[in-house]
Amino acid sequence: MEAGDWEGASRAYEQAILSRHQEHAPSAWITMGMLLERQGNPVAANGAYRAAVDSEHSEYAPLAAVGLGLLLQGQGDAISAQVAYQTAIDSGHPDHAPFAMLLIGEHFTGGDLRSREHFRDQAARYGNPDVLLSLAELYIAEREVLRARLLLQQAAVLGNSVAAHSLQIFGPDTAGVTSDDASKAVLKRAQAGDTDSMNILGLLAALRGAVIEARLWWTKSAGERDVIAPLLISRHLR
């Protein structure tokens, strides 16, 4: 798959699926779904994700439910997408449930800010450092830097290095850059493919008025399947 040999990758995943292995088959269904999406075959991707969900695997079923929700959302099927996200939430998985909670709040609350805030609070309560960082990115985009810093502090304590660097970048009294070293560290991670770092660099660009640069970073992040980047693109700072 990494070499671009999608046909070979598909054959390999099919072997894993046909093995019916308790761990590897559900995992292969998910990766097959991602592959089929990249190949422009959403119908087959839908079936692959649903097969992983139906496996009821404690790790892979919730992950597949989020992938299915994103796929359905992209197809404009809001009702089915919310059902898929709710499946992930009901699993209680510490990683996938809060992201599903966040996605419902950001996409399906109809502009009701109080309802959206409720979902954000519920997602934050899971204490997942990646979710906390994602929430902080949204608050920075909304110019609520002090609120974002509280989330960044929580994520940093839990070991998220991008959050720790972001605390040094976004000072408490300003939205401007306060640490060149931290900015360089985030840039290095972004160049290595970390999407949260790409999002942070986009926010930095947006804050100084470089909207085109910001959108380039967020577009690259979205291309790597980051779920926050599309929200930043749609709500970018002006």
Is the pLDDT at 237 greater than 70, yes or no?
Answer: no
Reading the block at residue 169, the tokens are 């970048």
Is the pLDDT at 34 greater than 80, yes or no?
Answer: yes
Which pLDDT tens digit goes with each residue over 136-148? 999 999 989 899 9
Residue ending a domain, among 97, 126, 155, is 126
The pairs formed by 68-73 with CB atoms below 8 angstroms and a separation of 24 or more are 68/33, 69/100, 69/103, 70/103, 70/225, 70/227, 71/33, 71/37, 71/42, 71/45, 71/46, 72/46, 73/103, 73/107
Q: At what angle do helices 145-157 and 161-169 cross, to 10 degrees?
A: 150
Same domain for 157 and 117: no
Is the pLDDT at 19 greater than 60, yes or no?
Answer: yes
Same domain for 78 and 180: no
Q: Cα(147)–Cα(155) distance, rounded to whole angstroms?
A: 13
95 contacts 128 by C-beta, under 8 angstroms: yes
Instruction: Tell me the residue range of the domain where 15 lies.
Output: 1-126
| pLDDT score recorded for residue 173 | 62
85 contacts 69 by C-beta, under 8 angstroms: yes
Is the pLDDT at 236 greater than 90, yes or no?
Answer: no
| pLDDT score recorded for residue 207 | 86
Residue ending a domain, among 82, 102, 126, is 126
Domains of the chain: total: 2
Sign of the torsion formed by the C-alpha atoms of 51, 55, 58 and 60: negative
Residue ending a domain, among 126, 150, 185, is 126
More confident of the two residues 187 and 180: 187
151 contacts 132 by C-beta, under 8 angstroms: yes
Q: Is 0.75 topped by the overall pTM?
A: yes
